[in-house]
Structure 1
Amino acid sequence: MTDGKGGEGEADLYGNALVKGEVSGQVLFSDTGLSFWGGIDPETGNVIDRGHPLFGKCIAGRILAIPAGRGSCTGSSVLLQLMINGVAPAAMIFSTREEILTLGVFVAEEMFGPTLPVVQLAPEMFARLAEVDRATVSDGRVLCGAGSVGVDRPHHPDTAPKPLLLSTEDLALLDDGSPEATRTAMRIIIRMAELLGAERLIPVSRAHIDGCIYTGPASLDFAEKLVAAGGRVAVPTTLNAISVDRMAWQRQGTDPALSRAAAALADAYLALGARTSFTCAPYLREDSPASGDDIAWAESNAVVYANSVLGARTMKYPDFLDALIALTGRAPLAGCHIAENRRAKLIIEVQPPQGFDDSFWPLLGYHIGSLAPTKIPAVTGLADLDPKTDDLKAFGAAFATTSGAPMFHLVGITPEATSLKDATGQVEGLPVLTISGADLRGSWQKLQSTDETAIDLVALGNPHFSLTEIADLARLVAGRTRAPLTRMTITTSRATLDRAISAGHAATLQSFGAEFVVDACWCTVLEPIVPPEATTILTNSGKYAHYGPGLTGKALRFASLATCVDAACRGQVDARLPGWLVGYP
């Protein structure tokens, strides 16, 4: 490449072409990462994340420049649907090696036909796009309009990767003797491995598929193509929560067309040999992976829990790649499969407040995720708190909502952080951030999308409620009366509900008037599980408080579990900050 000088007043920026192609268009820039799932409407291309700077803008036909995606692994599926619908960006430019969204383009090219260019620029070059109105993307080159930015020399953010070495087993999966679905899967896995700079592929012991969430016809087409091409999972494979309660959608009254499509998608993955699990919290199952196991999990909260709390090893696999790895049992040796990549790159110091309630953990996870959008953090100051499994679940889900990092370390709590030196690999001089009460009060307000205190629905179970959470909830509602106009609905897995029924907890909750929904969770449920007439929803989930407004068009409030129960009884929520947060210095 040359130094990129074009016509007078023009400038070239050089980076890496993650997907080659040439296109011109108007630049839509933000310095904030964006989750396509819950952040983009796949039918229109409009940004629906109300907390994002681009809220209300349309990405269709624009050159979208964001640092990276964030949050959900389902971004790849949403991008594919955007491409099929003709409302995708004309090109995408990132300041990091974005994997989830790039994978969506790989799948589109290999299985459906459409494509779009994807470029990675160095952060300092990416920042200059804030001043650019129009640009031309040509492979790894971005030609900016007159007077937009200065001229830069060619720059490549990553060193040239070593060639990918394929084993005899890998080559056999590419051979004509393998089913067409397996060969397609291997081609895409190899492209992703090359993007990641992996030297080889490794075997995984299990997979968890997030791509079973229905995001539109393209997600169903993808799965059914694999079934028709002879696909069959090669390792034990669980399925994430889907978009419908397969056993009760007719009774619940959800949209028949969407319900049948969502059920058909689940059936396709079952036809591939996956298990009937349908949960976004697979780590609660009795067969959860052990420390050191190499696995291929998608679903953002499950990924961070597996890596951080269980000590298993998985990348934050995009939707579709999870299924393709399940078909082959092979994954790139990259990301958190490598010990060095699991080290903390940022230290966050926390002085815990006095007398906090269970809302502390999702609130803290949400805030820490915003401080560590791409870097794995080591969090100090919490070792004496002895968080429960449910606390760590809530923390991790909220963390994964605002961060693209695949894991976190809680020093003195999580298994690879017995000390700060363990978490960081004894690296000194890392950035150190300190969290104050004012910081958490700010994040608390971000999770309240309305000042309205009348509550129409209390939504619990994002991620899926555990048996202990159901037991705690049953204890809180025992002997109390629900306000007649305020619904309470809990999403959980079939297996957990069966255990709750056996323990008597389900009967207590149903006597109170609470309803259970299985298979689906709050990021996927359809109306009327979210009542069309509702205006305000209360949840104890940091994840749902963030995504809910964009997904439902309703206002969301966030509070502790006990406050959620009080609101269900009164029909109103106390809008004041909790006492522990008010007095937190």
Structure 2
Amino acid sequence: MPGIVNGRCLIDGSAQGALLFADTGLSLWGGVDPSSGEVIDRHHPLSGQSVAGRVLAIPGSRGSCTGSSVMMELISNAHAPAALVLAEPDEILTLGVMVAQHFFGRSLPVLCVGQHAFDTLRGQPWARVDGASLSLYSQAPDDPWLPREAESENDTADGAIELSRRDQELLDGAHGKAAQVAMQIVLRMARLQGARELIDITQAHIDGCIYTGPASLRFAERLVQWGARVQVPTTLNAISVDQRRWRELGIDPALGEPASALGDAYMAMGARLSFTCAPYLLDSAPGLGEQVVWAESNAVVYANSVLGARTLKYPDYLDICIALTGRAPLIGCHLPERRRPQLQIQVPPLAGADDSVYPLLGYHIGGLCGSRIPWISGLHQQHPDLDDLKAFGAAFATTSAAPMFHIAGVTSEALDPDLSSGLSEALPCVSITPQDLLASWKELNTARDTQVRMISLGNPHFSLSEFARLAALCQARRKHPDVVLAITCGRAVLEQARAAGHLAALEAFGATLITDTCWCMLGEPVVPVDCRSLMTNSGKYAHYAPGLVGRRVHFDSLGACVDSACSGTRSGRPPAWLSPFSPAEPADHV
């Protein structure tokens, strides 16, 4: 007899297959190849395995909001898992399945079983999902079982959600088909999240403009055909190409044309031509307490933590659905009580640390937190600036599913004494050691050779102050002729840097400037074909690059990146502030 586990059905259906289990969250974007189903996150325990046709059991997603787009793509091209089994409800993965149902008539079952039951799945060979039930087998069962037809969702039933008159009009189709379908999806997700009401939002930032494959373009073009128009000011994330220069950069038209067309489709819905993964650098950045809908993981974390605005970590496609309706579920970080810290992190004194400490800390702390919001102590004396917090947040969002963090004495809400009172007694506490950070340093530094051919800067997009720092570091110097140093940024910041006079030193140095897109979307030939490893100061890109572009990574500070751009080499040793905790070892073993 099979073992039976019961849970909560998030998406109805039935399927069976070999069980693929991991106790580590997985970002589908940068973690799974949407064209094949292979796990390409080289830091993940499932690296190299295929999710296609298997019952995938993971705690949930982490990292990028674009995981929903990859899920939709996998379903569309028949490389998706047979079913998803989760420890906790996950909006990003579930939304991808939901959109595939609405737009392409394809689906897969999604079941949440809770952490305790999830832990019992390790080592199980075969699984069958049927609605809210999970059956476990020691081998593929020899029985006449066939998958049943999934029960249709009643998208017009509001359940316990209070609807305004305009909400009902949207649902009834009075404002067009695009707005109607968008409201159906918003309400389905709201019910899954347990929301009781919807709220007005003041702006949106759309991450779904990243091209993950043909389905992502078909989705957007169908909305345009249905007359979609955003109802609030809306900015667009970095797209997959530099829209003005992709031909000049040697990008294959098979990517350049649909990726550019996808950006055009979202602008046809009324979105602003911003094309940046750092919308907090724009003049439209929200203020303290403002209710917004942002996607793009680093932007969400920055908005909540640094700006004090209020947003969930919205999945791709739910972002545009909310922008088309102007309404979002009142849940999660939209509520003051859901923004409170759940874990204390104590950072040790780090005398002499350079700017690489912030992405390194973010990467390490994100891995400790999972989905819990941390309260981080010990950084107030370091006086992190906005660029430091940007680098910290991007790396934190890469390894964590949490939508925000608090840094005592630094971030907006952490300055409130009411938030910090009683924390030491109420919350579990983790103390980080320098040896812990050294271990994460080595995890990010995957390159085995000392040669450097590519320096990748601007993940997230460069700020004006970062341009100023880089220009000062490059002044009266010139890069090695065999090294490419490229910077990605938004168009608005590029023009600010030009007006401030920062670009002259960078152009004399030999830097390449790329707008509209970001390193998580760039590959060859921007990354040279003969480049075996690259160097970056981004903890986020150091994590994703081995899977996305198949290169090992040197991770270090901005100053070290400039030095290596000039020499064409990298020592492989940790920085001076970490060196006392590192045993002596040859560079090719780092």
Is the TM-score greater than 0.5? yes
Give 1:428 deviation, angstroms.
3.5
Show CA shifts across 1:42-88 (max 9, x none). 11100000010000000000000000100000000001111111000
- Residue identity matched to 2:298: N
Equivalent in the alignment of 2:88: 96
- Residue identity matched to 1:512: F
1:22 corresponds, among 5, 14, 19, to 14
1:52 corresponds, among 41, 44, 50, to 44
Does the Cα contact within 8 Å between 1:279 and 1:492 map onto a contact in 2? yes
Q: Distance in 2 between matches of 1:548 and 1:341?
A: 33
Query: Is 1:66 the counterpart of 2:58 in the alignment?
Result: yes
Query: Is 1:507 the counterpart of 2:499 in the alignment?
Result: no
Show CA shifts across 1:222-279 (max 9, x none). 1001000010000000000001111111211111121011000000000000000000
Q: Distance in 1 between matches of 2:527 and 2:119?
A: 40
2:28 corresponds, among 29, 33, 36, to 36
Query: Is 1:114 the counterpart of 2:106 in the alignment?
Result: yes
2:574 corresponds, among 554, 571, 577, to 577
- Residue identity matched to 2:466: E
Query: Is 1:190 the counterpart of 2:187 in the alignment?
Result: yes
- Residue identity matched to 1:500: A
- Stretch deviating more after TM superposition (422-431 or 279-288): 422-431
Give 1:421 deviation, angstroms.
5.1
1:413-562 aligned at under 5 Å gives the runs 413-418=410-415, 422-423=419-420, 428-562=425-559
Give 1:574 deviation, angstroms.
2.1
1:374 corresponds, among 358, 371, 374, to 371
2:317 corresponds, among 303, 315, 320, to 320
Equivalent in the alignment of 2:298: 301
Show CA shifts across 1:141-185 (max 9, x none). 10111599xxxxxxxxxxxx9822212121011123211000000
- Residue identity matched to 1:34: L
2:78 corresponds, among 68, 86, 89, to 86
- Residue identity matched to 1:276: L
CA separation of 1:362 and 1:248: change in aligned 2, threshold 3 A: same
Q: Distance in 2 between matches of 1:423 and 1:183?
A: 43
Q: Tell me, what secondary structure is at the counterpart of 1:251?
A: coil
- Residue identity matched to 1:35: S
Aligned residues: 565
- Residue identity matched to 1:175: D
Unmatched segments (≥5 aa) in structure 2: 141-157, 583-590
Q: Distance in 2 between matches of 1:271 and 1:119?
A: 36
1:100-499 aligned at under 5 Å gives the runs 100-145=92-137, 163-418=160-415, 422-423=419-420, 428-499=425-496
- Residue identity matched to 1:263: S
Does the Cα contact within 8 Å between 2:126 and 2:138 map onto a contact in 1? no
Q: Tell me, what secondary structure is at the counterpart of 2:16?
A: strand
Show CA shifts across 1:369-403 (max 9, x none). 00001100000111122211100000000000000
Q: Distance in 2 between matches of 1:427 and 1:540?
A: 34
Moved over 4 A (4+): 423-427
2:4 corresponds, among 7, 12, 15, to 12
Q: Tell me, what secondary structure is at the counterpart of 1:250?
A: coil
Q: Distance in 2 between matches of 1:244 and 1:581?
A: 37
Q: Distance in 2 between matches of 1:31 and 1:564?
A: 35
- Residue identity matched to 2:26: L
Q: Tell me, what secondary structure is at the counterpart of 2:496?
A: helix
Does the Cα contact within 8 Å between 2:178 and 2:228 map onto a contact in 1? yes
Q: CA RMSD in A?
A: 1.5
Does the Cα contact within 8 Å between 2:72 and 2:97 map onto a contact in 1? yes
Q: Tell me, what secondary structure is at the counterpart of 2:120?
A: helix
Give 1:352 deviation, angstroms.
2.6
Q: Tell me, what secondary structure is at the counterpart of 2:465?
A: helix
Q: Tell me, what secondary structure is at the counterpart of 1:583?
A: helix
Does the Cα contact within 8 Å between 1:289 and 1:310 map onto a contact in 2? yes
Q: Tell me, what secondary structure is at the counterpart of 1:290?
A: coil
Q: Distance in 2 between matches of 1:295 and 1:127?
A: 36
Give 1:503 deviation, angstroms.
1.6
Give 1:200 deviation, angstroms.
0.7
Give 1:322 deviation, angstroms.
0.5
Does the Cα contact within 8 Å between 1:343 and 1:425 map onto a contact in 2? no
Show CA shifts across 1:6-51 (max 9, x none). x3xx221011000011111110000000000000001110000001
Equivalent in the alignment of 2:69: 77
Give 1:555 deviation, angstroms.
1.2
CA separation of 1:358 and 1:426: change in aligned 2, threshold 3 A: closer
Give 1:512 deviation, angstroms.
0.7
Q: Tell me, what secondary structure is at the counterpart of 2:466?
A: helix
Q: Tell me, what secondary structure is at the counterpart of 2:4?
A: strand
Does the Cα contact within 8 Å between 1:378 and 1:424 map onto a contact in 2? no
- Residue identity matched to 1:19: I
Does the Cα contact within 8 Å between 2:452 and 2:534 map onto a contact in 1? yes
- Residue identity matched to 1:351: P
Q: Distance in 1 between matches of 2:523 and 2:15?
A: 37
- Residue identity matched to 2:231: A
Does the Cα contact within 8 Å between 1:354 and 1:584 map onto a contact in 2? no
Show CA shifts across 1:485-522 (max 9, x none). 01100000111111111122111101110010000010
CA separation of 1:114 and 1:453: change in aligned 2, threshold 3 A: same
Q: Distance in 1 between matches of 2:421 and 2:179?
A: 38
Percentage of pairs with the same residue? 53
- Residue identity matched to 2:558: L
Q: Tell me, what secondary structure is at the counterpart of 2:353?
A: coil
- Residue identity matched to 1:85: N
Q: Tell me, what secondary structure is at the counterpart of 2:577?
A: helix
- Residue identity matched to 1:318: P
Unmatched segments (≥5 aa) in structure 1: 1-6, 149-160
CA separation of 1:549 and 1:424: change in aligned 2, threshold 3 A: farther
